[in-house]
Structure 1
Amino acid sequence: MKTLVIYTHPNHQSLSYAFLKKVIQGSNENPHITEIKVLDLYEEEFNPVLVFNEKKRRRDMKSEPQLAKYREQIIWADKIVFVYPIWWGRPPAMLLGYIDQMFASGFAYKDTGGLLPEGLLKGKSVVCISTMKGPALYPLFWLNNAHKVLMRKALFNYVGIKKVKFFEFGNMESPKGKQDEKLNRIYRYFKSINLQYS
């Protein structure tokens, strides 16, 4: 199982980075994970800004030369892991800018003329690991589960990815947030998963 981890947080002293390290540690100890690659969007200085004009058209984004290596990463991966904080009820703008550009028509999906497109990323699976200051049930009861709906239905299911697992960790700035327990949960998960039951 080839695993691509996409990390989105500007601070390597953050709790998000601690979760990233646990993903890597568990993956390195898992015999089912044959290779792991990490894309740190801030360290990469990924440009999240979309630019469309008379010379650069949206329909050509699927073959944008500057994005070729990122498309190759997605094609290569069996599992894609996203590690990020929840800010204002949704992922950081940096990650959303990556999504806007990478999950393009002609690469991630193909219009068929029907109600839904044909997803072109079938067979892959996704894990989303997110942290937030507020309580874990805040997105469910206050925001109508907007984060999961956005990521699962509006994005991953749309492009053909049906296996989507979420770890939403709340109270992460609280002394009672059980940070170590949650970090170890991520470590154990990645140490034990395999392609069939992931």
Structure 2
Amino acid sequence: MTPTMNTNISKTQTARSTHLVICANPSPASFDTAIVDAYSAEVRDRGHKAVVRDLYALGFDPVLKEDERPGQSPWAPRADVAEELDHVRDADVIVLVYPIWYGMPPAILKGYIDRVLGANYSFRAVHDQRGQTGLAGKPLLSFSTSGLPLDWLSERGQVLSLREILDVYLWRGFGMKQSEHVMIESVVPNMSTAYATTQLDRVRHTAARTCAMLENTLLVEVYES
């Protein structure tokens, strides 16, 4: 049978995505915050929704509790995790924004992964790539900043390690659609305005491209339904 286009085309054309933007930098004056603002503004300018969760501003507790470990019976999320899980389920794309500290993301982001993204998802589920509820089939987009140049980090294997340990692991282990990582180097207090502007333009371009990708996905889903 040949599929036919859904007759409610006007509704399809106005369908919009929700971008869950997770910020993991303790300073509201950081360049990571500027990335969050630029990304969110571009998303909203295009008629999509950006939901920002600033983990430090929220006072998010990154420490996993014994009763939160996967496989507990009965298992139930604590109130703060339940709220974050609602945002995850409502999102069409997960966006992580964080600085690279000692070759790794801040501990608060790892705690968010432990308690929220990995909520009640066991190592066996990761191994079998069963797909985490609320994450399966959704794209993962990351923006990271570093004071050091990427060439220096690459020489020491940190760029590849970060992508393999975090991006690829989450993408495949949680059954997500894909992962993309935009690394912004040489983010220092005295960086030039021109350099900062260029990098934020990259952020806005990525946001626009992500919106377009999600719009196409929504159109295809309606067409195939």
Which has the larger share of helix?
A: 2
Q: 1:105 to 1:40 in 2, by over 3 A?
A: closer
Does 182-191 or 13-22 show the bigger shift?
182-191
Q: Which of 189, 195, 200 is 1:183 aligned to?
A: 200
CA distance in 1, matches of 2:63, 2:155: 32
Q: Structure 1 unaligned runs (5+)?
A: none
- Which residue of the other structure, out of 155, 158, 162, is the alignment partner of 1:147? 162
What is the number of equivalent residue pairs in this alignment? Answer: 190
Deviations 1:27-79 (A, max 9, x none): 11123x2x221101001100011222xxx251339621321111111111110
Q: What residue in structure 1 maps to residue 142 of structure 2? A: 128
SS of 2:191 mapped into structure 1: coil
- Could you say which residue in structure 1 is the equivalent of 2:32? 16
The aligned runs of 1:43-192 (5 Å cut-off) are 43-52=57-66, 56=67, 58-59=69-70, 60=72, 63-66=76-79, 67-104=81-118, 106=120, 111=124, 115-120=127-132, 121-144=135-158, 145-173=160-188, 175=191, 178-192=195-209
Stretches of structure 2 that go unaligned for 5 or more consecutive residues are 1-16, 218-225
CA contact (8 A) 2:68 2:77 kept: no
Cα distance in 1 for partners of 2:93, 2:75 equals 21
Deviation at 1:140, TM superposition (A): 2.7
Alpha-carbon distance in 1 for matches of 2:109, 2:127: 27
- Paired residues of 2:22 and 2:97 also in contact (CA < 8 A): yes
Counterpart of 2:76, as a letter, is S
* Residues 7 and 41 in structure 1, CA contact (< 8 A), matched pair in contact too: yes
Q: What is the Cα-based RMSD across aligned positions, in Å?
A: 2.4
TM-score, normalised via structure 1 length = 0.85
Structure whose residues are more often strand by fraction: 1
> What's the offset of the Cα at 1:183?
0.8
Identity percentage of aligned residues: 25
